[in-house]
Chain A
Amino acid sequence: MAALIRMIAQRLALGVLTLFIVSVVIFFATELLPGDLASTLLGQAATPETVAALRRQLGLDLPAPVRYWNWLTSALQGDFGVSLANRRPIAELIAARLGNTIFLALYAAALAVPLALILGILAALWRNSVFDRAANAGALTAISFPEFFVAYILVLWLAQSGYFPSMVRISPVSTFGEKLYMAFLPALTLTLVVTAHMMRMTRAAIINLMAQPYIEMARLKGMSPLRIVLRHALPNALAPIINVIAINLAYLITGVVVVEVVFVYPGLGQLMVDSVSKRDIAVVQAIALIFASAYVLLNLTADVLSTLTNPRLMSKG
């Protein structure tokens, strides 16, 4: 038990360190900017006086480490400063959209995870069958498609015929059922893309396990293949499968960016794309920090969970 707690503490410490480094990279990337942020922002209107005034207003006259510290401490308290484009508080811009993005990602995950696990297990069970080959070819094709291609095919097929809306108009007063209906096409797009990856990885993990001697033993004593997979292979495959799920949930985080734009979904991804084209570095930094933290935290959770399901991994530390 003590070893377990120590392991978790170690991983958490490593995670915090990673988060710190990520925040440093995101913050100091702006320092790479050729020239000065204030004069870039002002463009034509840059006179020495206006530049100096804007520098003071943005806190650019302070040394970089001090600015980093101020940025990080206020970001941790939920204050991301103001947008450079429209001077509105960034926290306000993000708040409404963060919930929508999390909703979309969870919706897609709820569809994709069971689907991918069932398909992956069946493909491993009926290895080299027609089903396995078809599932593999389908997965390889889906991986090769850009997300917007999948999205527009679904629009052409399902929205054209009027089954589902091709634009998502979610307002704060929408009921849960309405939201599920509205967000179905974006969620389905993400599901198709993620399921392909997840299914291939699940299949590989199960096939890897099926070569183990204890599976051979179970087979020799006359167990049915389905029972072998469910009772013997699956519990031992949990660690790799948890990893697969985490990697793909992390993939969903970046996948939402394109899909949100296609369906005009009011989420963080769309805000980020808008801000990139306006070169609103403050907003982009804040959203990048949120996405990157979610990514790091997901990987950390997967790491801890898979170690818990497989005590042998612990000694590797």
Chain B
Amino acid sequence: MGWLFLAFGIVAAFGLAALLRRAAMQLAPTEWRSALADMPLTAAFGLMVIAIYIFVASAAPLLAPFPEREVVGSQFQPWSLQHWLGTDRLGRDMASRLIYGARNTVGIAFATTALAFIVGSLLGLWAALRGGWLDQTLSRFVDALMAIPSLIFSLLLLTIFGTSVLTLILVIAAVDATRVYRIARSVAQGIVVMDYIEAARLRGEGSWYLIRREILPNALAPLVAEFGLRFCFVFLTISSLSFLGLGIQPPLADWGSMVRENATLITFGDITPLLPAGAIALLTVAVNFVVDWQLYRASGLKEQAG
């Protein structure tokens, strides 16, 4: 019976995505229409899911029936009209925590990815631009850090700096910035040999101007696709760490730790603790669908130009 509902939900979601794509094509300005017309259904579904998550995250206090941290009933209540998804092991409302989790988990993952990207890509572009010993030192240093598996290295750093939201963001961003550095550097290396960079150099422009006005606009397309992939990776890492009790700490509502705290229910056949895990999986699938489409578009456009 549950499987039927799941299948029906997926079909309905894709149907809704198709309708929204139709509507967007009517409303969008003409220059976007061609891009929307060849958008696959999976990408439309992905964009729809991402939009819903952003809406839920920003309107969490309005949508949630109960406050995030308040104990509102007895422990482990079943699903009811008052508590849609029951209560957790302390008696807090599961549905409200799930809604607030969108804000905390996704927000922290997004901030981490953004930080990793700013640091990693700026260093990568700078290294590619300057070359020489600066490039060599930075690259060999990053190689050494990348020889250690990222989860293991994050665990080591978390032991040293302790577990709080701030150290979590800084540690994961630092570990992930090494991966971003590699991509940004290899993308930029193809750009810095172009004539327009040489021309700008001869005009006497500084490094910061070159990175900002000449290299970045040309490296943006692959970096944006990479941002999606890195976000998925960071999001899964932070969720795993929170699940292990080493990431986002209570009483903040967070999807990873919600699974862990209520996992005992699963052995009694209750699927409630799987919902936050499903929320994580759904967002990752959605972002992957959109990234796939973007990568496909980037490669398709390149073929036409070449």
Interface residues of A (CB under 8 A from B): 18, 21-22, 25-26, 29-30, 32-34, 140-141, 143-149, 152-153, 155-156, 159-160, 166, 250, 253-254, 257-258, 261-262, 272-273, 275-277, 279-281, 284-285, 287-288, 291-292, 295-296
Q: B187-200 vs A: 1/0 string, CB under 8 Å?
A: 00000000000000
Evaluate contact between B266 and A296: CB separation under 8 angstroms: no
Evaluate contact between B147 and A258: CB separation under 8 angstroms: no
A279 to B159, CA, bound (A): 5
Evaluate contact between B277 and A148: CB separation under 8 angstroms: yes
Among the stretches B24-32, B127-135, B238-246, the one at the interface with A is B238-246
A298 smallest CB distance to B (angstroms):
10
Evaluate contact between A254 and B145: CB separation under 8 angstroms: no
A159 to B244, CA, bound (A): 21
**Chain A neighbourhood of B163, CB < 8 A:** 277
Task: Find residues 208-262 in chain B having any chain A CB closer than 8 Å to their own CB.
Answer: 232, 236, 239-240, 243-246, 256, 259-260
Contact A295-B162, Cβ < 8 Å, known A141-B285, A148-B240, A149-B274: no
A21 to B259, CA, bound (A): 37
Evaluate contact between B236 and A22: CB separation under 8 angstroms: no
**Chain B neighbourhood of A159, CB < 8 A:** 267
Q: B152-176 vs A: 1/0 string, CB under 8 Å?
A: 1101111111110000000000000
Evaluate contact between B267 and A166: CB separation under 8 angstroms: yes
Secondary structure call for the A interface: helix
Evaluate contact between A250 and B159: CB separation under 8 angstroms: no
Q: Which of these, B148, B245, B266, B273, contacts A288 with CB under 8 Å? A: B148
Interface flag for B144 (CB, 8 Å): yes
A25 to B148, CA, bound (A): 9
B133 smallest CB distance to A (angstroms):
18
**Chain A neighbourhood of B152, CB < 8 A:** 253-254, 257, 272, 287-288, 291-292, 295
Q: Which of these, B147, B149, B266, B273, contacts A254 with CB under 8 Å? A: B149
Central interface residue in B148, B246, B281, by most chain A CB within 10 Å: B148
Q: Which of these, A145, A152, A257, A279, contacts B244 with CB under 8 Å? A: A257
**Chain B neighbourhood of A296, CB < 8 A:** 147
Smallest CB gap from A287: residue in B? B152
Interface flag for B263 (CB, 8 Å): yes
A261 to B263, CA, bound (A): 12
Central interface residue in B153, B162, B246, B288, by most chain A CB within 10 Å: B153
A149 to B288, CA, bound (A): 17
A2 smallest CB distance to B (angstroms):
29
**Chain A neighbourhood of B266, CB < 8 A:** 152, 155-156
B245 smallest CB distance to A (angstroms):
6
Q: Which of these, A22, A143, A257, A275, contacts B151 with CB under 8 Å? A: A257
A300 smallest CB distance to B (angstroms):
11
